[in-house]
Homo-oligomer: A and B are copies of this chain.
Amino acid sequence: MIIMQSDATKEQIDAVVTEIKKYGLRADVSRGAFRTVIGLVGDESKVPFDRFAILPGVKEARMVETPYKLISREYAKLSEEESEDRVIKVGNVEIGGDEPVFMAGPCAVESKAQLFKIAERVKKAGANVLRGGIFKPRTSVHSFQGLGGGSQEEAREALSWLRKAGDNFEMPVVTEIRGEGQVDMVAEYVDIIQIGARNMYDQDLLTQVARKRKPILYKRHFGAGIEEFLSFTEYMVAEDNKDIILCERGILPLGKGRSYSRYTLDLTAVPAIQKETYLPIIVDPSHAAGRRDLVFSLSCAGIAAGACGLLIEVHHNPVEALVDGQQMITPDELADVISTCRKIRKAIGHRRNNG
């Protein structure tokens, strides 16, 4: 990390950036009100910081021994650029702002009719963003892989329904990609690209998605520590994309008979992460619970823990759903969740970094 003097010129800053590139690294330049801080992106171990320290306009040059720094509040404070919580705007929706955001829709898109029916009803229930799975990551090769599991044309068609439903009911749309082969196609159709829990560690995929310059909904893997989660987030921000929406969706449960839900929702992580980074975090109670009757309580708890929003699976007729029917709630139940969560948010105030 290189901190420039407050009166450093643009030429001096450019000279430092040029020098950094000679070592095979990239530079992340944060121009704050009072001074400029240049973060090095890449392996710092071979950088001779003492040589940088004597370049014109440089105040301080030193190695930062943390696996994530571009996203950290501490580092942001240095440049006074990002001392505030980051609010990500997608269409008319603000993620991380004063109001909690509700992303809702079916686990898997099954047909145009199903999608439009659900979109209409979640909108009416108060949802802000429409979700719908097209490329479904599945444990078994013998399970339904989503409409994206077929031909390219079928995948495109399903994506176009999602786009139209979003436009029709005035909600930005989000869908998950599962591999590098889907990145270009998905980026054409959606407003937010989701990287699921199982792909959390896929650093080549993270890099490619980040380059699309669209907001990313990034889920924590169920076995991933907070440090790992934030460190891998850094791979995207290193591509100069800071529109990352973090998502907690449950960690490994204690096991059979030990846990009565599919995963253990780690709500302790919510305030803990918000103290580390200025990026917003939301909660997915549906996958964590794996059962419909816990979704209300976990939603309320997530918002009370300080989450900026929820990602909830909704189906007008859960028992008929092709995937994950047991965890989807109805649009009416969603309306109850949303109105209660809005009251809870009001009770706690807007305290993302309440330390």
Contact = CB atoms under 8 A, between A and B. Distances in A.
A294 interface: yes
A198 B43 CA distance: 20
A293 interface: yes
Contacts of A254: 223-225, 251-252, 255
B178 A180 contact: no
A267 interface: yes
B251 A255 contact: no
Interface size class of A (residues with CB under 8 A): 35 or more
A109 to B, nearest CB: 15
A261 B268 contact: yes
Interface string A254-282: 11111111011111111111011000000
B204 A223 contact: no
A205 B231 CA distance: 22
Contacts of A144: 43, 45
Nearest to A266: B264
A298 interface: yes
Given A255-B254, A268-B298, A302-B301, A355 B293 contact: yes
A340 B199 CA distance: 38
A92 interface: no
Given A223-B222, A225-B258, A301 B267 contact: yes
Interface of A: 24, 40-45, 64, 67-69, 137-145, 149-150, 178-182, 198-199, 201-205, 221-228, 231-232, 234-235, 238, 250-261, 263-273, 275-276, 288-289, 293-294, 296-298, 300-306, 340, 343-344, 347-348, 351, 354-355
